Protein backbone atom coordinates (compact mmCIF):
# COMPACT_ATOMS: atom_id res chain seq x y z
CA UNK A 1 0.00 0.00 0.00
CA UNK A 2 1.24 3.45 -0.86
CA UNK A 3 0.93 6.69 1.08
CA UNK A 4 0.29 8.50 -2.17
CA UNK A 5 -3.28 9.87 -2.35
CA UNK A 6 -5.61 8.15 -4.80
CA UNK A 7 -6.88 10.00 -7.85
CA UNK A 8 -10.51 11.11 -7.67
CA UNK A 9 -13.01 8.81 -9.32
CA UNK A 10 -13.88 11.06 -12.22
CA UNK A 11 -13.00 11.28 -15.86
CA UNK A 12 -10.74 14.01 -17.21
CA UNK A 13 -13.64 14.96 -19.52
CA UNK A 14 -15.95 15.55 -16.57
CA UNK A 15 -17.00 19.05 -15.50
CA UNK A 16 -16.38 17.80 -11.95
CA UNK A 17 -12.73 17.23 -12.87
CA UNK A 18 -12.48 20.79 -14.21
CA UNK A 19 -14.05 22.15 -11.02
CA UNK A 20 -11.66 20.10 -8.90
CA UNK A 21 -8.67 21.43 -10.85
CA UNK A 22 -9.90 24.98 -10.30
CA UNK A 23 -10.41 24.30 -6.59
CA UNK A 24 -14.17 24.79 -6.87
CA UNK A 25 -16.74 23.01 -4.73
CA UNK A 26 -18.10 19.65 -5.78
CA UNK A 27 -21.67 19.20 -6.99
CA UNK A 28 -24.08 18.69 -4.08
CA UNK A 29 -25.51 15.21 -3.55
CA UNK A 30 -28.91 16.30 -4.88
CA UNK A 31 -27.14 17.35 -8.09
CA UNK A 32 -25.64 13.89 -8.38
CA UNK A 33 -29.13 12.38 -8.13
CA UNK A 34 -30.34 14.65 -10.93
CA UNK A 35 -27.36 13.74 -13.12
CA UNK A 36 -28.02 10.04 -12.48
CA UNK A 37 -31.69 10.39 -13.50
CA UNK A 38 -30.83 12.36 -16.62
CA UNK A 39 -28.08 9.89 -17.56
CA UNK A 40 -30.49 6.99 -17.20
CA UNK A 41 -32.91 8.72 -19.57
CA UNK A 42 -30.05 9.39 -22.00
CA UNK A 43 -29.24 5.67 -21.95
CA UNK A 44 -32.92 4.78 -22.46
CA UNK A 45 -33.03 7.10 -25.48
CA UNK A 46 -29.91 5.38 -26.84
CA UNK A 47 -31.60 1.98 -26.38
CA UNK A 48 -34.68 3.26 -28.22
CA UNK A 49 -32.65 4.75 -31.09
CA UNK A 50 -30.89 1.42 -31.60
CA UNK A 51 -34.06 -0.68 -31.24
CA UNK A 52 -36.13 1.56 -33.54
CA UNK A 53 -33.79 2.62 -36.35
CA UNK A 54 -36.53 4.29 -38.47
CA UNK A 55 -35.11 7.67 -39.58
CA UNK A 56 -37.79 9.92 -38.07
CA UNK A 57 -37.96 7.97 -34.81
CA UNK A 58 -34.20 7.73 -34.50
CA UNK A 59 -33.84 11.48 -35.13
CA UNK A 60 -36.29 12.21 -32.32
CA UNK A 61 -34.35 9.98 -29.92
CA UNK A 62 -31.05 11.60 -30.92
CA UNK A 63 -32.55 15.08 -30.47
CA UNK A 64 -33.76 14.10 -27.00
CA UNK A 65 -30.30 12.75 -26.21
CA UNK A 66 -28.80 16.11 -27.15
CA UNK A 67 -31.27 17.89 -24.84
CA UNK A 68 -30.54 15.46 -22.02
CA UNK A 69 -26.78 15.79 -22.54
CA UNK A 70 -27.07 19.58 -22.21
CA UNK A 71 -29.06 19.16 -18.99
CA UNK A 72 -26.50 16.70 -17.64
CA UNK A 73 -23.64 19.14 -18.28
CA UNK A 74 -25.67 22.03 -16.81
CA UNK A 75 -26.01 20.01 -13.60
CA UNK A 76 -22.31 19.23 -13.33
CA UNK A 77 -22.19 15.83 -15.01
CA UNK A 78 -20.77 14.31 -18.13
CA UNK A 79 -23.18 12.50 -20.47
CA UNK A 80 -22.49 8.86 -21.29
CA UNK A 81 -21.00 7.95 -24.62
CA UNK A 82 -22.91 5.70 -27.02
CA UNK A 83 -20.73 2.71 -26.15
CA UNK A 84 -21.36 3.30 -22.43
CA UNK A 85 -25.15 2.91 -22.54
CA UNK A 86 -26.60 0.10 -20.43
CA UNK A 87 -29.69 -1.78 -21.53
CA UNK A 88 -32.26 0.25 -19.62
CA UNK A 89 -35.38 -0.70 -21.57
CA UNK A 90 -34.66 -4.44 -21.87
CA UNK A 91 -37.66 -5.26 -24.03
CA UNK A 92 -38.73 -6.05 -27.58
CA UNK A 93 -38.84 -3.25 -30.17
CA UNK A 94 -42.65 -3.27 -30.12
CA UNK A 95 -42.65 -2.49 -26.38
CA UNK A 96 -39.87 0.12 -26.47
CA UNK A 97 -42.16 3.19 -26.74
CA UNK A 98 -44.14 2.18 -23.64
CA UNK A 99 -40.99 1.30 -21.69
CA UNK A 100 -39.38 4.63 -22.62
CA UNK A 101 -42.51 6.57 -21.63
CA UNK A 102 -42.50 4.75 -18.28
CA UNK A 103 -38.86 5.77 -17.69
CA UNK A 104 -39.76 9.42 -18.30
CA UNK A 105 -42.78 9.24 -15.99
CA UNK A 106 -40.66 7.70 -13.25
CA UNK A 107 -38.01 10.42 -13.67
CA UNK A 108 -40.57 13.25 -13.75
CA UNK A 109 -42.06 11.96 -10.48
CA UNK A 110 -38.67 12.07 -8.74
CA UNK A 111 -38.47 14.38 -5.73
CA UNK A 112 -34.97 15.41 -6.84
CA UNK A 113 -36.24 17.44 -9.80
CA UNK A 114 -37.43 21.02 -9.73
CA UNK A 115 -40.33 22.30 -11.83
CA UNK A 116 -38.07 23.58 -14.62
CA UNK A 117 -36.46 20.15 -15.05
CA UNK A 118 -39.86 18.44 -14.96
CA UNK A 119 -41.03 20.76 -17.75
CA UNK A 120 -37.89 20.06 -19.81
CA UNK A 121 -38.37 16.32 -19.42
CA UNK A 122 -42.06 16.59 -20.29
CA UNK A 123 -41.00 18.09 -23.65
CA UNK A 124 -38.80 15.07 -24.33
CA UNK A 125 -41.29 12.58 -22.93
CA UNK A 126 -42.74 9.94 -25.21
CA UNK A 127 -46.08 9.59 -23.44
Per residue in 48-98, pLDDT (tens digit) is: 999 988 888 889 999 999 999 999 998 888 899 888 899 999 889 999 999
Domain of 91, in residue numbers: 27-124
Cα 30 from Cα 51, distance rounded (Å): 32
Residue 36 falls inside a structural domain: yes
Residue 14 falls inside a structural domain: no
Cα–Cα distances (Å) from 7 to 4, 20, 27, 73, 117, in that order, read 9, 11, 17, 22, 32
For residue 36, what are the contacts with CB-CB under 8 A and spacing of at least 6? none
Residue 63 falls inside a structural domain: yes
Residue 118 falls inside a structural domain: yes
Query: How many structural domains comprise the chain?
Result: 1
pTM of the model: 0.77
Nearest CA among 79, 85, 98 for reference residue 46:
85
Burial of residue 123, with CB atoms counted within 10 A of its CB: 0-12 exposed, 13-18 middle, 19 or more buried: exposed
Does 44 score more than 50 pLDDT? yes
Residue 18 falls inside a structural domain: no
Amino acid sequence: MTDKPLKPLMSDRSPSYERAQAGADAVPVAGAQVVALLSRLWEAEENAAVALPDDATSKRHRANQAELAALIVAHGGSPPRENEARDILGTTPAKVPAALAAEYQKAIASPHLDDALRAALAKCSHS
